[in-house]
Amino acid sequence: MIHTADEKYIIAIPDIHWSAEVNGLAEFDAKVNHLIDSLTFHLYEGNSQELAHSISLLTVK
């Protein structure tokens, strides 16, 4: 995960060819929902909600 100077996070999982950008200043639930949508679109199955929640926890200071 990369934290940019403009308070965004770029998250990538190269093994599944997936990446997303999350606004670090957005509400936590908004970050989780954005990641869920992105992962669900990419993966179509699996527990993307838990993964999105775990990734979002990394953006909390």
Confidence (pTM): 0.64
Contact 48, 41 (CB under 8 A): no
pLDDT, one tens digit per residue, over 4-44 is 999 999 999 887 788 899 998 889 999 999 888 888 877 66
In the chain, the amino acid numbered 43 is L
Helix axes 28-43, 48-57, angle to 10 degrees: 140
Contact 19, 10 (CB under 8 A): yes
